[in-house]
Chains A and B, each alone.
Chain A
Amino acid sequence: MRHRTIEDRYPPLRDYALIGDGRTAALVSRDGSVDWWCLPNLDSPSIFGAVLDADRGGRFVLHPEGVVEARRRYLPDTNVLETTFTTATGRVRVTDAMTLPGLGLAPFRELARRVEGLDGRVAIRWRIEPRFGYGLAPTRIEPRTPFPVASSGGTAIAACTWQAGRVDCDRAGIAGGFEARAGTRATLAVSAAHGEPLVLPARADVEQRIDATAEFWRSWSTRLSYTGPWRDAVVRSALALKLLVFAPSGAIAAAPTTSLPELIGGERNWDYRFSWIRDASFMLESLLQLGCQAEAKAFFWWFMHATQRTLPRVNVFYRLDGGTHAPERTLPLAGYRESRPVRVGNGAADQLQLDTYGELVDAVYQYVQKGHPLGRDTGRDIARIADFVCVHWREPDSGIWEVRSEPRHHTHSKAMCWVALDRAVRLARAGRVPPGHAARWASEAAAIRRFVDERCWSDAKGSHVWYAGGEHLDASLLLLAIMRYDPPDSPRLRATVDAVRRELAAGPLLQRYTGDDGLAGGEGAFACCSFWLVEALAILGRRPDAERLMSDLVALANDVGLYAEEVEPTTGAFLGNFPQGLVHLALISAAIAMHGAAG
């Protein structure tokens, strides 16, 4: 099963699809290999990590022999993946699901794969190579009855198979093979346990859970209230985001992966399995607009609860369980296509990123605007945050892009500080936040605006710039339109949007910025920025332009409608962690803005 070239050993990121159950998620490649799965949770160590190290990472391969074509889709309006393989001798359909427990005693986690013969005969080989602890922990594989078990420490899996051929175990894995004929059905399930005995499911129960899981997702999708343009892309994005919602806490991970590179062979490899407060504003607006009230409420309470530990200072991100400790370390893995280092944890946790405060307070403001109550304690917390912003907005920070160069006075950060104080004043006027310091907030907001007008504008560029005194542009300036820092008819805002497009565009895509960020090498175009441009154009009233761009961008998704963090502009290859929540949020937000503009 080993291939020779690095491109063959590591499928393009475009070839992956995501399945999940609200606690953990797995990447399934087009050729039938599960190359990423963390147990028991999204942010736990991987058991299948071949996407980061094809030799040591571990995988679950289910591979029809002699494939000439593989077509796949999610079952409509679900997160259940269906891949149809055509070979010279027949066709076979594989359905992959991370099942939901439902009623009865179900495995702690369960990855289920159903193989149905459609035409002719197709030889199928499968092999499970569990590698606990990112491939670094000792793994013990035992040929037990009724199913083989692999374990390491407190985590174990059982390879439960039915009609999938004779099962062989060796020190490295559990394998089998069978022939799928028209009308036959085989079932393979990986039952996982963590800190408890394994649940060994009956075949009928696995089959029932696959169907019930698909039904749950269909039911969830029908609750989405969006009826505007690009509905299919919006629904797919919502389904992808739902897979990033960590159900036990309500937190939303930025992506389910770590260290998928922003440049092949480069060092820009980060762990995104945390919940960024920055995404809160986009997330809440999107969830509320889509009618996902339960998820919006859970997320709101999660981030207000998580930030309690650090208020009035707000961390850049929090662990999915609300914790703050996320030390960055590197793993001795080869990396995707030898892109090293492979990092877990994230050093950006220690950075000052002032824009976070604006996005947090704006999220609270939106939540209240939608009629949700705000407790007195939360109101006091918002007042403390506003006071904190008054004291700290003059400091340089690392900004939205978490650059690892020296802190600067980022224009976007200052503007978001203004947003924090503006929304705090509005909330105070509405009686939701103690108004005692409102006059100071208004006064400091005015000072921020003067700073941005005087120090963050370049006459030479005719535009706002990335940071005070610089001449570079960055795509976060588009958020000045989206976050309503300036009104749509502001000449400076319109000039800035035009300048950003002029200088950062690469086809329909946008680069994040020009200029040094403290890291070696370049990167692809940042997909979310391109959707921000769509939204900014819609807000400025340039709807035809925005529509054309939106159509181009929607076409850049992979065959199952997912986006990575970045897209290589010339080849369309995906780069960075996959799928990235912020991109899907930006897509939803852009579509909603277009729909609103049309209305």
Chain B
Amino acid sequence: MSVWGALAGGFLGTLVLTTALSAGSQLGLTRMDVPFLLGTACTDDRARARVYGYALHFLAGLAFALVYYAAFVVLGRAGWALGLAFGLAHALFSGTTLVNVLLPAVHPRMGTPSSAADSSPLLEAPGFMLLNYGRATPVLTMLAHMAYGAIVGAFVAGSAR
């Protein structure tokens, strides 16, 4: 197991995750757009938001890969199946807490249940399990994160040899 394996897996995993969600969007299955959500936290310019958003998403992908790596080290083993399980847990955390609760709390352009008359949220909040962005969103998000986890797990395990 090596950190470099985790980072390489994190990069490729994020690439796959982003591509899967983007394909889901193009196919009309979801309106989930992670780069747009992340980027609009930094700027209200649509084009720039997507550029920033992609950069932030890849940084987040690398950061989560390091978290996965730490977990693999603690458990003393790594592999694609364990990574897949991490990915599922990651997706559930994202859908219920990270994107549903924490992102709106820190996103300057997204409303929360506590938004009052003195605020004017611009962005549609994702809702529980991101269901506001389409009924297929939870399934797609889970599958994409499981693929991410499996790739990170495989890379970390592979880097051990």
Contact = CB atoms under 8 A, between A and B. Distances in A.
Interface of A: 101, 103-106, 144, 146, 149, 151, 153-156, 158, 193-202, 205
A193 B31 contact: yes
Interface in B1-57: 25-33, 36-37, 40, 44-46, 49
Contact of B111 (A146, A153, A156): A146
Contact of B124 (A149, A154, A195): A149
A98 to B, nearest CB: 17
A198 B110 CA distance: 10
Contacts of A151: 31, 134
A233 B33 CA distance: 44
A156 B122 contact: no
Contact of B46 (A105, A153, A201, A205): A105
B44 A154 contact: no
Main secondary structure, interface of A, reads loop
Contact of A154 (B29, B109, B121): B29
Interface of B: 25-33, 36-37, 40, 44-46, 49, 109, 111, 120-124, 126, 132-134
Q: Of residues A153, A197, A198, which shows the largest number of chain B Cβ atoms within 10 Å of its Cβ? A: A197
A196 B26 CA distance: 10
Nearest to B127: A144
A101 B45 CA distance: 10
Contacts of B133: 197
Contacts of A106: 46
11 contacts: A105-B40, A105-B122, A105-B123, A106-B46, A155-B31, A156-B31, A195-B25, A196-B25, A197-B32, A199-B123, A201-B122
A155 B26 CA distance: 10
B33 A196 contact: yes
Contacts of B36: 196-197
Contacts, number: 73
Given A153-B134, A154-B26, A196-B25, 19 more contacts: A105-B122, A105-B123, A146-B111, A146-B121, A153-B29, A154-B27, A154-B28, A154-B29, A154-B31, A156-B31, A195-B26, A195-B31, A197-B32, A199-B122, A199-B123, A200-B124, A201-B122, A202-B120, A202-B122
Nearest to B115: A146
Contacts of A198: 31, 123-124
Contacts of B44: 103-105
Interface of B is mostly: loop
Contacts of B45: 103, 105
B110 to A, nearest CB: 8
Contacts of B121: 146, 200
A195 B44 CA distance: 18
Contacts of A101: 46
Contacts of B25: 154, 195-196
A205 B44 CA distance: 13
B122 A149 contact: no
Contacts of A158: 124
B39 to A, nearest CB: 10
A502 to B, nearest CB: 54
A413 B11 CA distance: 57
Given A151-B134, A195-B26, A197-B36, A105 B109 contact: yes
Given A105-B109, A154-B134, A200 B123 contact: yes
Which of the listed residues B45, B121, B122 has the most CB atoms from chain A within 10 Å of its own CB? Answer: B122
Contact of B33 (A146, A195, A200): A195
Contacts of B46: 101, 105-106
Contacts of B122: 105, 199-202
A532 B117 CA distance: 59
Nearest to B40: A105
Contacts of A193: 31, 124
A201 B111 CA distance: 12
Contacts of B132: 144, 149, 197
A513 B132 CA distance: 54
Contacts of A196: 25, 31, 33, 36
A198 B30 CA distance: 12
Nearest to B24: A154
A199 B124 contact: yes
A202 B118 CA distance: 11
**Which among A101, A151, A154, A200 has the greatest number of chain B C-beta atoms within 10 A?**
A154
Shortest 8 CB-CB distances between A and B: which pairs?
A: A153-B28, A198-B124, A154-B28, A105-B44, A202-B120, A195-B25, A197-B124, A196-B33
A103 B48 CA distance: 12
